[in-house]
Amino acid sequence: MSISLPPATENNSNSLQPTGWLRFISFSLDHKVIGLQYLVCGFIFYLIGGVLAGAIRIELLSPISDFLARDVYNQVLTLHGTIMIFLWIVPVVNGAFGNYLIPFYVGARDMAFPRLNAVAFWMIPPAGLMLITSYFINGAAQSGWTAYPPLSITTPAAGQIVWIVSVLLLGGSSIFGGINFIATILKLRRPGLKLMQLPMYCWAMLGTSILVVLSTPVLAGTLILLSFDIVAHTGFFNPALGGNVIVYQHLFWFYSHPAVYIMVLPAFGLVSEILPVHCRKPLFGYITMVYSIMAIVVLGLVVWAHHMFTSGTPPWMRLFFTIATSFIAVPTGIKFFNWVATLWGGRITLNSAILFSCGFIVNFVLGGITGVALAQVPFDIHVHDTYFVVAHFHYIVYGGSVFVIFSSIYHWYPKFTGKMLDEKLGIIHFVLTFIGFNLCFAPQHWLGLNGMPRRVAEYDPQFTLINQISSVGALLMAISTLPFLWNILYSFIKGEKAGNNPWQALTPEWLTTSPPPVENWSGEAPLVTKPYGYGEKNSDEGSSPITQA
């Protein structure tokens, strides 16, 4: 069972740590500091990735290649994808919120391996800087974030090698984090806290970490082989030397499809924390939610080849992966119905956190529907590698994960800082983001169906108008970050004081001061057996969901 908690005074290492703002640029071992380091670092990379997206949308304003040089355009799209996945969404939905929240949720004073945790974070800034500076030195990688050989072998080697080393570092960081989360959730629970009493985000992180630990090493191995092909001229994936390019795709997608779940499962967990608080209702269907997460984890490992329906895959493989992929819709559907049931009959405060969470539900449902369509081989064969796919996965990772990140920031900012965010600015941010996002990506479904492939700088002039509409949407998305940034900075200095628990939430991170002390709780950790014990019958004092041990 779980090991007993060390007394707070034993955290000697923490007393040697710098205090004040210096903590945030130091090798801090405090899970809360590391969580915020992940969040701020990720957000900076999000802004950089966003600038690159802007460059792509400017290039696509006209059907000819005129804004960026052709090879630069390919570098920009490669960097945009790599940064947004490996430096923004994965580190933030896992590293930032995972590190901040999981020790609270299991009733621990820190993660299981605090030093490993700090190492995992500090691998990210150098990896990110390396990736970005490669552009200014010899040119960045230009074979897309998928780095399919033989293109990745024949494009300039320097940029590709930097890309590989950078992704290896980020993958290593992710594995360290995954091991840490599994150990913390399974072994660091406070005595008396059962697995089925954990907040849903713990289950999401447990599932995600299993995926990280099982699949990321495969990507690492694949990229190491690819680097051998590039620098040592081996022939693993080089057909000229007897290699096989399809093997790379299988190995790559064995990680990179689960990577989608590594980006969305934690987001599912975060939404499950946010909705009950602002709806004042228990999370609907806790047990089915847990089983759905685990079903997604298992199925998520056996669907990778749906990215390869046009790669010359044999018919039996096409059919197997169609069926496996389609069935992921069932556990995912259960989660969405359960969230709607959580809204149903609630007493919902319409604030920025709930709006972004509901925006996530709407966007992700659309992304899920196009996902089931794409899983069907005959459907996919027409739209594979087109803007239809671009639209689909942005609905999943932006409309899904990024909306949840924003929702989570609105929800937990008072916990992080002790200050409230401005609601008016928050709602402006939501409206601009939601309209901008849908204006940018919804028309891209049509582009793909009608003949615009992805990753092109020039296209058929008949698509000009729709591309311009899409770029206007992107501009709105860019503008939407301004009220958000202003809100974050202004509220930090002049925001209304939040108090310890402004939402009257029941999950354990709120049962301490905001921001929390280094030891998380001044006394012993509370035993929260009903983290979603909202609802009328709990208003009588007899049945408090929190039992102080």
Partner 1 sequence: MGGIWALDNLNLLPVVASSNAPIYDELFNVLFVIGIILFVGMTGLVIYSLIRFRKKPGQVGDGIALEDNLPLEIFWTAVPAIVVLFVGLYSYDIYERMGGMQSLSTNSHDHQSMNSEGRVWGGIGLTSQDDIEKNSLPMINVDVTALQFAFLFNYPEGEIVSGELHVPRGQPVSLTMESKDVIHAFWVPEFRLKQDVIPGQPTVINFTPTKTGKYPIICAELCGPYHGGMRSTVVVEEPEEYQAWFKQNSKQKEMEL
Shortest Å, Cβ 128 to partner 1: 23
Shortest Å, Cβ 519 to partner 1: 31
User: 51, 350, 489, 549: which one contacts partner 1 (CB under 8 A)?
Assistant: 350
**Nearby residues of 17 by Cβ (< 8 Å), 6 or more positions away:** 23, 26, 28, 29, 30
Q: Which string of x and - marks every residue 507-536 that binds partner 1 (by CB under 8 A)?
A: -------------------------x-xxx
Residues 60, 3: Cα–Cα separation, whole Å: 57
Are residues 146 and 252 in contact, defined by beta-carbon separation less than 8 angstroms? yes
Residues in the chain, overall count: 549
Cα angle: 453, vertex 251, 76; to 5 degrees:
40
Residues 238, 78: Cα–Cα separation, whole Å: 21
Shortest Å, Cβ 366 to partner 1: 6
Site for partner 1 in 115-154 (CB under 8 A): 142-144, 148, 150-151, 154
Q: For partner 1, which is the closer residue by CB, 213 or 341?
A: 341
E strands along 21-66, which residues? none
Shortest Å, Cβ 245 to partner 1: 6
Site for partner 1 in 57-86 (CB under 8 A): 65, 70-71, 73-74
Shortest Å, Cβ 214 to partner 1: 25
Q: For partner 1, which is the closer residue by CB, 24 or 336?
A: 336
Which run of H or of E encompasses 185?
helix 157-187
Instruction: Please report, to the nearest 10 degrees, the dihedral formed by the alpha carbons of residues 87, 91, 92, 93 taken in order.
Output: 130
What are 193's two structure tokens?
Answer: 């806290």
Q: Does 361 bind partner 1 (CB under 8 A)?
A: yes
Residues 411, 422: Cα–Cα separation, whole Å: 12
Q: Does 336 bind partner 1 (CB under 8 A)?
A: yes
User: 106, 354, 402, 498: which one contacts partner 1 (CB under 8 A)?
Assistant: 354
Where does this chain touch partner 1 (CB under 8 A) — which range of 35-43, 178-186, 306-314, 511-519?
306-314
Q: Which of 92, 82, 89 is nearest to 34 (CA)?
A: 92
Q: Which of 41, 16, 255, 277 is nearest to 145 (CA)?
A: 255
Q: Is 348 left (phi over 0), alpha (psi -120 to 50) or beta?
A: beta
Site for partner 1 in 149-178 (CB under 8 A): 150-151, 154-155
User: 372, 427, 472, 485: which one contacts partner 1 (CB under 8 A)?
Assistant: 372
Q: Which of 176, 158, 156 is nearest to 220 (CA)?
A: 176
Q: For partner 1, which is the closer residue by CB, 102 or 279?
A: 279
What are 497's two structure tokens?
Answer: 């004081």
User: 192, 451, 461, 499: which one contacts partner 1 (CB under 8 A)?
Assistant: 451
Where does this chain touch partner 1 (CB under 8 A) — which range of 83-91, 122-130, 187-195, 360-368?
360-368
Q: Does 301 bind partner 1 (CB under 8 A)?
A: no
Q: For partner 1, which is the closer residue by CB, 457 or 477?
A: 457
Count of residues touching partner 1 (by CB under 8 A): 96
User: 378, 493, 541, 542: which one contacts partner 1 (CB under 8 A)?
Assistant: 378
Site for partner 1 in 36-55 (CB under 8 A): none
How many CA atoms within 13 Å lie on the side-chain side of 480? Answer: 21
Verify cis geometry, omega within 30 degrees of 0, for the bond prior to 63.
no
Where does this chain touch partner 1 (CB under 8 A) — which range of 6-14, 189-197, 323-331, 474-482?
323-331
Where does this chain touch partner 1 (CB under 8 A) — which range of 85-93, 265-273, 470-478, 537-545?
537-545
User: 137, 323, 465, 482: which one contacts partner 1 (CB under 8 A)?
Assistant: 323
Residues 379, 234: Cα–Cα separation, whole Å: 37
Q: For partner 1, which is the closer residue by CB, 46 or 163?
A: 163
Q: Does 382 bind partner 1 (CB under 8 A)?
A: yes
Q: Does 250 bind partner 1 (CB under 8 A)?
A: no
User: 114, 266, 346, 418: which one contacts partner 1 (CB under 8 A)?
Assistant: 346
Amino acid at position 406, single letter = F
Sign of CA dihedral 337, 339, 343, 345: positive
What are 274's two structure tokens?
Answer: 């946010």
